[in-house]
A = this chain, B = another copy of it.
Amino acid sequence: MKTDIDKVFKALADPHRRQLLDRLHADNGQTLGELCLDASMTRQAIAKHLGLLEAANLVVTVWRGREKLHYLNPVPIQEIYERWIHKYERHRVRALTDLTKALEEKCDD
């Protein structure tokens, strides 16, 4: 079984999907049709990408008649930060000194 956080990382791994999030970030609540304009792939391909983003809870959808509106959900991105990136930030300085020390020793040969 995939963890929630794994689904989010996987969803973010594709540049097209990140671009879709960017487009929703610029203009929230777009329909599938709108998100397909000026795209270099078929509607079905984009619908699949949106499906993955939805499964990762990065996008939430609302039906309005026959249109499906797509909204950005910023919560999982925030969780990636808090549960994963943040801990590396805390010890960032130590990791960097480890690294530079190792690289210096390398040059002492």
Contact = CB atoms under 8 A, between A and B. Distances in A.
Interface of A: 3, 6, 9-10, 12-13, 15, 18, 21, 25, 28-29, 60, 62-63, 69, 71-75, 77-78, 80-81, 84-85, 87-89, 91-92, 95-96, 98-99, 102-103, 105-106
Query: What is the oligomeric copy number?
Result: 2
Given A9-B12, A80-B85, A74 B95 contact: yes
Interface of A (DSSP majority class): helix
Contacts of A18: 9, 84
A85 B88 contact: no
A71 B97 CA distance: 10
A85 B81 contact: yes
A34 B61 CA distance: 46
